[in-house]
Amino acid sequence: MHPPDSPATAAGLLARSWREGAHIDDLPADCRPATRADGYAVQALWQAEQEAPVAGWKIAATSLAGQKHIGVSGPLAGPVFAHRVQPDGARVSLAANRMGVAECEVVFGLGSDLPARAQPYTRAEVLAAVRSLHPGIEVPDSRFLAFERAGEAQLIADCACCNDMVLGAPVPPDARVDELPGLQVQAQVSDGRRLQGQGSNVLGDPVEALVWLVNELRAAGQALRAGQFVTTGACVVPIAVEPGQRVEADFGWIGRIAAQFE
What DSSP string runs through the chain? ---TTHHHHHHHHHHHHHHHT--BS---GGG---SHHHHHHHHTTGGGG-SS-EEEEEEE--SHHHHHHHT-SS-EEEEEEGGGEEETT-EE--TT-SS-EEEEEEEEEESS-B---SSPPPHHHHHHTEEEEEEEEEE---SBTTGGGS-HHHHHHTGGG--EEEE---B---GGGGGGGG-EEEEEETTS-EEEEEGGGTTTSHHHHHHHHHHHHHHTT--B-TT-EEEEEESSPPEE--TT-EEEEE-GGG-EEEEEE-
> Tell me, what's the pLDDT at 73?
84
* pLDDT, average across residues 95-116: 97
* pLDDT, average across residues 104-110: 98
- For 139-197, the pLDDT digits (tens) are 999 999 999 999 999 999 999 999 999 999 999 999 999 999 999 999 999 999 999 99
* pLDDT, average across residues 79-94: 98
Query: Which pTM value belongs to this model?
Result: 0.95
> Tell me, what's the pLDDT at 4?
59
- Residue 2 pLDDT more than 90? no
* pLDDT, average across residues 203-215: 97
Between these two residues, 102 and 48, which has the higher pLDDT value? 102
- Residue 29 pLDDT more than 60? yes
